[in-house]
Amino acid sequence: MTPQELLLDDAAQGSAPLAERLRPKTLDDVIGQRHLLGAGKPLRTAFQAGRLHSMILCWPAGLGKTRLARLMADGFNAQFIAVPAVLGGVKDIREAVERAQAARASGRRTVIFVDEVHRFNKAQQDAFLPHVESGLFIFVGATTENPSFEVNAALLSRATVHVLQSLSEDDMGELLQR
């Protein structure tokens, strides 16, 4: 069956929307971001070495920051906890910390993903610090703002900033081929 026939067959069966079916399942499936995911590049190297680290993924909207964080968690068989800064607060952070502690007790790592991290105030961002420092979890924040101005310095100093880039014409062509 051709890819097009598979898509039509899946659609006829009422399965997930096309966008969901086309989401990358592994880092190798990600289109674009070669400056981070290509051979010898920072995230690829960290991934291959088994050394996932806390990070801030920034700029433009719609490039898959959330998906990239989820792929990293999946690749390390780590628990993935999303904390949306738009709707969340310290209570959500506490719950995520408790879940990370439970996972650690069973020998499992945790990735805590904070979408729109710039929307958390300084105190909320500070709530992550002791846990990032202790290694309880890997912190991944996503922002469409300049992290130098919108993420507090203490949290920023404990994370690597990775700037995502818009898809090139070649990347768009590859996406259309899929």
**How confident is the model at residue 60, as a pLDDT?**
87
Confidence grade of residue 15 (pLDDT, cut at 50, 70, 90)? confident
Going across the sheet that includes 160-163, the strands are 79-84, 110-115, 138-143, 55-58, 160-163
Q: Taking residues 112-139, what's their average pLDDT?
A: 96
What residue has token string 């909320």? 124
Angle between helix 65-75 and helix 42-49 axes, rounded to 10 deg: 20
What distance in Å separates the CA atoms of residue 116 and residue 159, rounded to the nearest whole number?
A: 15
Helix then strand then coil, in percent of the chain rounded to 5, is: 50, 15, 35
- Nearest to residue 143, comparing CAs of 113, 98, 176? 113
pLDDT score of 48 more than 80: yes
What distance in Å separates the CA atoms of residue 8 and residue 6, rounded to the nearest whole number?
A: 5
Q: Taking residues 112-141, what's their average pLDDT?
A: 96
Q: Taking residues 85-106, what's their average pLDDT?
A: 95
**How confident is the model at residue 44, as a pLDDT?**
95
What mean pLDDT, rounded, does the chain reach? 91
Confidence grade of residue 1 (pLDDT, cut at 50, 70, 90)? very low
Point out the least confidently predicted range of 12-16, 47-51, 132-136, 139-143.
12-16
Point out the least confidently predicted range of 2-16, 73-87, 105-119.
2-16
- Nearest to residue 139, comparing CAs of 162, 164, 106, 165? 162
Contacts of 167 (CB under 8 A, 6+ apart): 31, 32, 63, 175
3-state SS assignment for residue 174:
helix
What distance in Å separates the CA atoms of residue 173 and residue 178, rounded to the nearest whole number?
A: 9
Confidence grade of residue 14 (pLDDT, cut at 50, 70, 90)? low
Total-model pTM = 0.88
